[in-house]
Amino acid sequence: MHMLYDSDTFAVVHLLATASPDEVALPGDSAAQSAGSAHPPMPRHGFEIVDKRSGKEVYLDGSWAEMFQQQIHAWQQNTPTQEEVEDTLEGYATLAQTPVVVH
């Protein structure tokens, strides 16, 4: 997990799929462990965008994560202003439906 952005209004975290197949297997799942040919899950990564004003978050994975990754690469090429970053995150924040819960 890598914090990419943190301001008074937004936080963006990049969640990386780094679990090995052994870590993914459930304890007691002897069939999967003994098979040896079980396919490991496809590595996935995603981005969590938290709108601090509303207390809601959205998790982007799959094609949404790929699009957001392209946006990050564009920002690396042409350094945006904080206002430009916040405007982009505002667009994604409209998708946020999940309340942030601290556990």
Query: What are the tens digits of pLDDT across the range 83-95?
Result: 999 999 999 988 8
Q: How confident is the model at residue 41 (pLDDT cuts 50, 70, 90)?
A: low
Residue ranges per structural domain of the chain: 2-99
Instruction: Compare 53 and 33 and report the one with higher pLDDT.
Output: 53
pLDDT > 70? residue 76: yes
Backbone angles phi, psi at 85, to 5 degrees: -65, -45
In the chain, alpha helices (H): 21-24, 30-35, 63-77, 82-93
Full-model pTM: 0.71
